[in-house]
Structures are given as C-alpha cells and as structure tokens.
Amino acid sequence: MHLTTAEIEESLRRLFGESASTVALSSNDRLGRRIFGVDLTQPLTPEQAELMVSLLDRYKLISFPNQGEGQFRIRHLERLANHFGAPIPHPKNYANYADYKKKKVPLALLPVEQQTSTKCDQAFPNALQCREDASSPAVYIVTNLVGSGPDKQEAVVGGLHWHTDIEFEPTPLSTSMFYVQAAPSTRNSAGGQWVDHVPREAGFYHPDSPADLTERRNALPLNGETAYADTASAYADLPDDQKRELDVISVRRRLRKGDPGWLIPLVYVNPRTGEKSLHSPIWASRGKNIAPVEVDGLSDDESRRFLDQLEAHILKPQYRYDHVHAAGDVTIWSNFATVHNAPPAKSVINTPEDARLMYRISCKGEPSYRLPRHDTDAWIEANILPPYRSPAEYVAS
Ligand SMILES: [Fe+2]
C-alpha cells in the first residue's frame, strides 16, 4: 500500500528533523516530489533508506535540492545508489570494452587523459571542474563540456526517442539518478528560451506513426529539462478490461535484430506496493541502434501499431512532467514507472553559463536498506556487465 502524503511528511520529520518537508513538482500529484531538509552527504540509517525507497515508489521521481553546498562528492551519490540497487558500470568508462566482450581480455579503465571528467575540466578550466570521484566506473557523465570552450562554435542537438534506461537487459534497470553540478543559466534570459526546437531528421520515427503520437513525441521542453511520463498513472486510468488484456502480455526485448532476446512482462508490478505500471511500452526506443520490441505473438508491424497506441496514451499531457535541473539537485527516478526523454540541448558551448554537468548512476536488483549490499558473486556475474561492486570506502557509514 502507498503511504499518504501526510504519513510521508510525518515520517520525514521523525527521521530527518523538523525542517524536512515536501512539495509537489507537477500538477499530477502522482509524479514528482521535491524533498527538503535531507542532507545526502550523510549516510542513511536503514529506516531512512527505507523511507527513500518508499518516496520513490510513491512519487516515481524525487528531487533533493541544495546538496552539500560544495561538499557533495560523487561517492555520496554512489552510496545512495547502493540503497536502491546494485550500481552498473558504464561501458564508456572502459578503454577496451569491445575486446573484453569479444576476446575476454581483462578490463582496463580509460587512461586519465581520456576520461570524460578530464575532458570536461579542459573546457573552462578556471570556471568549472568536475567534482571528486567523477571517474568511478559507475558514473556516466551527461554533459556538453566535452569539446567545448571559449573559442568553440556553438552547436545544438535534438532530443532522443522516448525510452527508459537499459530496459533491454534480462534484468532491467530499476532506478537512475542524477547529481547536477551545473545547469544552463542562460535559459533564464528575459523572454528567451535556451534552444529552438530541433526538427527530426527523416526516418527518426517510423513514417506510419499516428499524427497524435508524433505531436506528443515532438512536444519536448526547450530549456534543458528532462521530460518524463508517468506510466503507472497511465496504466491506472485504463479501463479494467484493457488492463486485464495488458496484464498477460509479454514483450521480447533484445539488443540486436536476430538475437533470440528474452520475454519480459509488459506490465510491471511493484513488489513493495503492488502498484502496476507499463514498463517502457515503446516499440523503437533507440531508433536504429537497438532492435524494436516484439510483442509476443505479434508480427513486427502489429507490434509497432500495438505499442504506438500505448506510447500515445502515456505521452498525454496529464502524465507528462518536464523536470527543470538546478545545480545541487539529486534527482532519482523509477525506470519501471516512468519513461523519459533527453531535451534538445546545446551540445557544444562557448560559455560556462550554458554548461550541463550531471552525473548519472543507474542500478538494478532489489533495494538494500543496509550497506554494504549482499549481492552474491553469482548474481553480480549474471546481471552486472562488467562485474562491479562499489568500493568499500564509498558505502561505509
Ligand atoms: Fe535516459
């Protein structure tokens, strides 16, 4: 059962002090909550960690402003992530990931000069430097600093497809989180917006996509917000007979066309609350990079038409929320109960005021209210590629 907002507020004050409070982030009370009065540089007690997981179950996206006032280290984010699941390392952090997969050679992290954090530090060396521990293998840096600098020509990129993070593995990601070090401040210019809408290139979406779906897909924010849609509320609002139909559907997810892939239920049931949500009901969430989803028993075309209807449903305005990032925020979202999209953004910048510098950690598996986690070697080997555990000093209390 879900906690009520009053129960959550009471628990927050009891566990974090009288100044802790919450406020809704969108008109949809079911998606998005800002939580005040929680200092994530400090380790969480098991009871506090359980409340964090309950908050995410209840609101799908939770955001903690003003973290650390300069004291925040990326290892604090990694410690927090360990409560939600086992952090996954990002392949981009390794120099020889392709050879590791093909030839089983031992993994090597990128040399320091090639690490993303080093390249970020070179853009505006006197104005912006990455926080400590940014080079952890579990950290994926989302930024427009690489290749940027005062003498560079500005460039803009469009948004992505709607997706969830790494839904195409047999054990999908449960949770992702950002620590925001820098977000563009030039977006606040009077009457201005950060970027213009960037038209899609031909073939970005299937040409037979319905008009209402195309319109909703393209309605992306233009001030660097990450756009979210609440797939739990979207499921809850469906008629009962349609819910019964969806409850028994499996989808085949796979990395490459022709792979055997695996079947995963389309409807996710939260094991702690029983709440159901549509898990990434999107036919081609990565365009041509990852094989489209196949609905078990349907052809490719039938799968696309079936899932396009669901995507059009979840992208209705009443389920949408565009999250504005601010420096100092830790923002956590459920990958089982939301889909999201990266906004059109300046990809090369020539002033630090346009910088986006966010550290993402994603995790999978069950929450652990006590740290360190107790994932078995066999589970890590089967689910985390490359195998990874956060260093003991990151998760010590
Ligand atoms: Fe994503």
pLDDT digits (tens, 9 = 90+) for 6-50: 999 999 999 999 999 999 998 888 999 999 999 999 999 999 999
CA of 341 to the centre of ligand 1 (A): 6
CA of 11 to the centre of ligand 1 (A): 31
Q: How far apart are CA 227 and CA 339, in angstroms?
A: 8
Q: How far apart are CA 17 and CA 113, in angstroms?
A: 43
pLDDT 10s digits, 101-138: 888 888 899 999 999 999 999 999 999 999 999 999 99
CA of 94 to the centre of ligand 1 (A): 20
CA of 198 to the centre of ligand 1 (A): 18
**Closest by Cα among 397, 378, 172, 375 to 389:** 375
Quick one: pLDDT at residue 189?
Answer: 66
Judge whether residue 264 has pLDDT over 90: yes
Decide if 298 is inside a domain: yes
**Closest by Cα among 68, 8, 24, 61 to 42:** 68
CATH number at residue 372: 3.60.130.10
Decide if 286 is inside a domain: yes
What token pair was written down for 308? 């396009």
CA of 17 to the centre of ligand 1 (A): 33
Q: How far apart are CA 382 and CA 170, in angstroms?
A: 10
pLDDT 10s digits, 313-330: 999 999 999 999 999 999
Decide if 92 is inside a domain: yes
What token pair was written down for 194? 């950060």
Report CA 223 to chain centroid distance, whole Å.
18
Across-strand partners of 45?
Answer: none
Q: How far apart are CA 38 and CA 20, in angstroms?
A: 7
Quick one: pLDDT at residue 115?
Answer: 95
Q: How far apart are CA 30 and CA 59, in angstroms?
A: 5
CA of 147 to the centre of ligand 1 (A): 21
Judge whether residue 268 has pLDDT over 90: yes
CB contact at 8 A, 322 and 228: yes
CA of 339 to the centre of ligand 1 (A): 8
For residue 187, give the DSSP letter. Answer: G
Q: How far apart are CA 220 and CA 350, in angstroms?
A: 24
CA of 243 to the centre of ligand 1 (A): 27
CA of 218 to the centre of ligand 1 (A): 16
- Please report which residue ranges of 148-286 form alpha helices under DSSP H: 211-218, 231-236, 240-247
Decide if 196 is inside a domain: no
CA of 67 to the centre of ligand 1 (A): 22
Instruction: Sort strands 33-36 and 61-64 into parallel, antiparallel or unpaired.
Output: parallel
Number of domains the chain contains: 1
What token pair was written down for 24? 């809704």
CA of 165 to the centre of ligand 1 (A): 5
Decide if 37 is inside a domain: yes
CA of 394 to the centre of ligand 1 (A): 25
Decide if 327 is inside a domain: yes
Residues of the domain holding 368: 5-191+201-389
202 vs 226, higher pLDDT? 226
CA of 240 to the centre of ligand 1 (A): 31
State the pLDDT confidence band at 272, using cuts at 50, 70 and 90: very high
Decide if 395 is inside a domain: no
Lowest model confidence (mean pLDDT) among 66-70, 149-153, 275-279: 66-70
Decide if 359 is inside a domain: yes
